[in-house]
Structure 1
Amino acid sequence: MFAAYVTVTILGAVFNGAAAVTYLSGHEYPKTQADMKGLPRKWVPVLGLLLAAGTVGLLAGLAVPVLGTLAAIGLVLYFIGAITAHLRVGSHDIVGGIVFLLTASAALVLGLVHHGAW
């Protein structure tokens, strides 16, 4: 179980870290996504910081389990919001969001199984 927990946590950190870099580097993709969802572009760096915080939290959770649990919960909520935002505007391009959501959910569940609730 430990190997699965570490693998999924690192995979989630890589996914979210790459997304955070995309959002924080000024790449055009997050801007077009914000436009499509009707969000102000000034939210893009904030969303990138949330992804970065989730990444750091997942990795810190390997040493301090409560941080990993809180980060995984935050990422689950983030991606529920992202998927909801897509569906709200009629976009069904949610496969990526679902993959990120499932990865964060798996990190949360495996962390709880491995470490316990707190």
Structure 2
Amino acid sequence: MHIAYIVVTVLAAVAAAVAAAIDVVRPQWLLDNMQNYGIPAQMLGLLGVIKAIGALGLLVGLAIPPIGLAAAIGLVLYFLGAVVTIVRARMYSDIAYPLPWLMLAAGSLGLFVAT
């Protein structure tokens, strides 16, 4: 079980870091999505920082478990918020976008609790 926790946590950290990098690059499709969701483009920097801190926290948490737990909880809440934001914007076709990130963060959290 411990190996599964490490693998899923590293994958979740990499995924969150990639999502943070996308926020930094600000491709046009992301800017369009943010506008459709009613989120100002100026928020992308903060959202990227939150994801980057979550990614770092997951990795640090492999050595310091309370930090990993906090990071996993934070990322689960973050990506649940992304799902809620998409639903509130009635952009149902976009609902699948945050789900892989949410599932990885939830998997890390679940495996942490299980180990």
TM-score range, shorter chain: over 0.9
Partner residue, 2:64: 64
Identity, in percent, stands at 37
> What TM-score, normalized to structure 2?
0.94
Q: Which runs of 5+ in 1 are unaligned?
A: none
- The letter for the 1-side match of 2:112 is G
Map 1:1-118; keep pairs closer than 5 Å: 1-92=1-92, 93-114=94-115
> What TM-score, normalized to structure 1?
0.91
Q: Which runs of 5+ in 2 are unaligned?
A: none
Runs of at least 4 residues off by over 3 Å: none
State the 1:63 CA deviation: 0.5
State the 1:51 CA deviation: 0.6
State which drifts further: 96-105 or 65-74.
Answer: 96-105
State the 1:23 CA deviation: 0.3
CA contact (8 A) 1:58 1:71 kept: yes
Higher relative contact order (CA 8 A, sep 6+): 2
2: CA distance, partners of 1:103 / 1:61: 15
SS at match of 1:22: helix
State the 1:25 CA deviation: 2.4
- The letter for the 2-side match of 1:19 is A
Kindly tell me the number of residue pairs found equivalent between the two proteins.
Answer: 114
CA contact (8 A) 1:76 1:105 kept: yes
- The letter for the 1-side match of 2:23 is Y
State the 1:89 CA deviation: 1.1
- The letter for the 2-side match of 1:85 is T
